[in-house]
Structure 1
């Protein structure tokens, strides 16, 4: 963070909701302020909906709760295009562009993300400037991302933020569970978590993803710090999966395929049904017993009562005579929840088993889905005797947002394990007994070389200090090469041999001019390749040690490459 900043602000951009918060750097108490007066919201809450309402030209008509309200009010207007849940589409295997209407040319996930972040930025900068009397260029920004996202997704998010108006030089990314850990870790209710030697696992259960990270408290009693433990894990599992299972497994069965598809195609009806389902699933507590009722939208009710007596009779027969809502027994609701929670628990158990040996950790539940009483109960049952305690953040849905601000104010995370093995493509000596023959290259002197070898710079799981640089020296394979293209790769394999192995991904390339040493002995043509590990993001530098020429690149190169 730049010393000239007077305000640290954070944006938590989630699959379901987005909010911002900030704090003054010179405030010794580091009070966090937030905004909770979004137009159209049902109640005061620090997050607006991550949703957009677009016109026929792709321009934003409204966003957040107001977008949903307008879509419901103008249900028959085919020139309006409602979009939501597009964050998950930034993943390589995510839906093309989230959920919503399907009547226009399809905007990309990065375009939708940029449009939504632009609206957030406008509200945030106006609120912060008005309340603090600072200028926009005195704000440092933190933007949250899932821990399981790789460098590709993180830089897609950075690119969207810069398109939206956030200053690239004053913008840093922070992982969501790490931010949540900071918020809870400094909460007086969890003061025992701040004792040196304590270990805890953070499970950030949101709408679209679950992130699992672990930490150990290091340092001293008066200056504790956090060190990452194990490689972050997770999956595209979240509360949004319950919504899809509800539509596919319950609504279609009760209403029939034809009526269910008709309702799904009508944006207003789909929004209204999912809104009431959101209320019902949030309040579900199996200990209270009794069925869950989800009200059917007016358009569906008119269809049932006026045009489709057969479907209405079938619905009533399946629900003990009830024909104006979807009725779910406690067992049916548990079954829906378990389809997401059970694999989530399995991921957490696997993560804990992979941790370095040490004292048993605590388990900390954060994120919007962590508000579910049923999820909390399942985790307590599953990990009884495995962890010392299962804790839920005092404000599960707010922890990431508030913790992101704290991460910009107090650099308490000192190290974390690398999620990937990083290395560059090199030509090295051919090993007759271990290298593949197809990779062998014979130069004009008759020397045998192995093409496309993976020279490891950092190994997956290796502890990397935040802000640390890792360097290695290399030489060209001959005296005549005038330029080099240094290609950086990542893989989950801790011992890769070649850059084109399954799972290896090209991240960026730096071209460096080394004409100044043409003709010199190879040993004197040294270059230094350096990886720079920031708060979350990765950069690479290449230095010609003889001429002092240096080139630097960040993962933005990947965005250009992906667009080709």
Structure 2
């Protein structure tokens, strides 16, 4: 979430570990991507040796839908960086193993939005691959009841046996049975509940069923499973002191990781109707460190604290009541439900029939129960895939095979540039008046490319023409501005901010008038921008020569 929440994200942004050490975020992400690539290629080497050539692999990186353009570009830059590092390896034969793509092979890397990937996958599923929470007994989590899952699998095997020769037997061969009673125009919500965020997207089935249309811009917020971990950390702070927890994390980072892993194991078993207490093992280093720092043992700290629903077990564990665990979930789960309910109130999404609950946190019986209890009264059908934690991963593969499956998206922000317009008295404010060569101009006018929440089709272009200011100019740099409002008039309006720059790299101009009759140095450069993809893209052409111009939008050098 750090690269999403930072307003001035750059290539030099640093991350700080729990022990206080800092490192460039770009290097951290690049190392992680390099590891994943080496792992994937090792699997390919074992399964498909013929697919090891670098240019035969298309890589798909999934990111939360609420991430802004700078964060998406950051991920792409990390992929480029780790590819550059591959050239530094001593063994040239291993150069293909160390990076995702190079800038020259940019099309081999796709940025996919996580709820979109989940949506692409869910629409391919059949009924036996889903669990309808609306039809379950109250309080049952679909993945927490082993008996019900086994029953579902038995039904699935029988269904597969009967459908062996059906055209819909393979998910990839057509639309799954889930859509048998749905028609073009029907709508559904995907709630991607992950570790750091909840991402919401609303799609409408198009005709044919192979395409999707986004009805409302991606929404959500920082309400992920990590919120439960933070609540547990705050609970420990109430018992042992916040200063101690901060010091322990910094001086014993490995032991802190062990403690969080132990809590994660218990968190996964929590349920709304569980009756037994949960035991969480404390690392010996935690017990020893507290005795040295606090002057007394852990058991004494628990007795003295105001937290009466956490006890000390004779087996050296924290014994937490189910009510205590439920309280840790409450803020995060409530936040997720509030985001979903706020989305459902939007007029653009009326008529929604289904809600797909996906992502790692969607495995939680606590979350499943709360979502169904809150939304069941709306008549909304809440559905969870059996392989809920892998939904986004599998959807990303399908998205990589057909990147155009989402035909229309909604722009999350208004984008444009600042320009000069003819000054109109009574329309433009006097403080924007600029007189130049006897002409009256209005400065700082916000020329809009696309408006917030505007529907933009995949491949739809916004075209503008620009001319270099000086003869022989080799680079044109145009500031981009954005805002959440749809009706901003000037780049100085509240909420409007500079968010990036459009860069056009020009080749040396040929002597004499060009084909359009313009004098040298006054060439026309036509730029075409696309806002309907997961990333904002731009291309440009020199009108005089009809040659492509190197064009890019940089959101990280603001």
Using the size of structure 1 for normalisation, the TM-score is: 0.75
Matched, 1:169 2:107: yes
Between the aligned partners of 1:472 and 1:170, the Cα distance in structure 2 is 28
Q: When the two structures are aligned, how many residues end up with a matched partner?
A: 466
In the superposition, relative to structure 1, how do residues 94 and 459 fare at CA in structure 2: closer, same or farther (>3 Å)?
closer
Q: 2:91 matched to which residue of 1?
A: none
Q: 1:398 matched to which residue of 2?
A: 390
Q: 1:206 matched to which residue of 2?
A: 194
Q: Which moved more, 1:87-96 or 1:447-456?
A: 87-96
Q: 1:540 matched to which residue of 2?
A: 538
Which of 28, 47, 52 is matched with 1:112 structurally? 28
**Residues 416 and 449 in structure 2, CA contact (< 8 A), matched pair in contact too:** yes
1:251-400 equivalent positions in 2, closer than 5 A: 251-265=236-250, 266-303=252-289, 308-309=295-296, 311-316=298-303, 318=308, 319-320=310-311, 322=313, 324-356=316-348, 358-400=350-392
In the superposition, relative to structure 1, how do residues 441 and 333 fare at CA in structure 2: closer, same or farther (>3 Å)?
same
Matched, 1:140 2:127: no
Between the aligned partners of 1:298 and 1:535, the Cα distance in structure 2 is 51
Residue 309 of structure 1 aligns to a residue whose secondary structure is coil
Q: 1:215 matched to which residue of 2?
A: 203
Q: 2:478 matched to which residue of 1?
A: 486
**Residues 423 and 456 in structure 1, CA contact (< 8 A), matched pair in contact too:** yes
Q: 1:159 matched to which residue of 2?
A: 77
Deviations 1:162-201 (A, max 9, x none): 2221113311111011001111110112633464222111
Between the aligned partners of 2:480 and 2:290, the Cα distance in structure 1 is 59
Using the size of structure 2 for normalisation, the TM-score is: 0.76
Q: 1:127 matched to which residue of 2?
A: 43
Between the aligned partners of 2:260 and 2:7, the Cα distance in structure 1 is 24
Q: 2:555 matched to which residue of 1?
A: 558
In the superposition, relative to structure 1, how do residues 491 and 558 fare at CA in structure 2: closer, same or farther (>3 Å)?
same
Between the aligned partners of 2:239 and 2:288, the Cα distance in structure 1 is 16
In the superposition, relative to structure 1, how do residues 396 and 93 fare at CA in structure 2: closer, same or farther (>3 Å)?
farther
Q: 1:102 matched to which residue of 2?
A: 19
Structure with higher helix content? 2
How far 1:338 sits from its partner (Å)?
1.5
Deviations 1:126-182 (A, max 9, x none): 221332122222111111111111111000001111222111331111101100111
Deviations 1:425-472 (A, max 9, x none): 21111233243333221111x221122211112112222222332324
**Residues 216 and 227 in structure 1, CA contact (< 8 A), matched pair in contact too:** yes
**Residues 216 and 228 in structure 1, CA contact (< 8 A), matched pair in contact too:** yes
**Residues 230 and 355 in structure 1, CA contact (< 8 A), matched pair in contact too:** no
**Residues 420 and 460 in structure 1, CA contact (< 8 A), matched pair in contact too:** yes
- Unpaired runs of 5+ residues, structure 2, are 83-98, 131-176
Which of 225, 229, 245 is matched with 1:243 structurally? 229
In the superposition, relative to structure 1, how do residues 206 and 196 fare at CA in structure 2: closer, same or farther (>3 Å)?
same
How far 1:407 sits from its partner (Å)?
0.7
Which of 221, 224, 241 is matched with 2:210 structurally? 224
| Structure possessing the higher relative contact order (Cα contacts under 8 Å, 6 or more residues apart) | 2
Which of 436, 439, 442 is matched with 2:435 structurally? 442
Between the aligned partners of 2:517 and 2:185, the Cα distance in structure 1 is 56
Alpha-carbon RMSD across the aligned residues, in angstroms, is: 3.1
Between the aligned partners of 2:20 and 2:531, the Cα distance in structure 1 is 43
- Unpaired runs of 5+ residues, structure 1, are 1-86
Matched, 1:454 2:446: yes
Matched, 1:422 2:410: no
Between the aligned partners of 2:291 and 2:6, the Cα distance in structure 1 is 43
Between the aligned partners of 1:244 and 1:448, the Cα distance in structure 2 is 58
**Residues 147 and 176 in structure 1, CA contact (< 8 A), matched pair in contact too:** yes
Q: Which moved more, 1:536-545 or 1:303-312?
A: 303-312
Q: Which moved more, 1:328-337 or 1:106-115?
A: 328-337
In the superposition, relative to structure 1, how do residues 440 and 259 fare at CA in structure 2: closer, same or farther (>3 Å)?
same
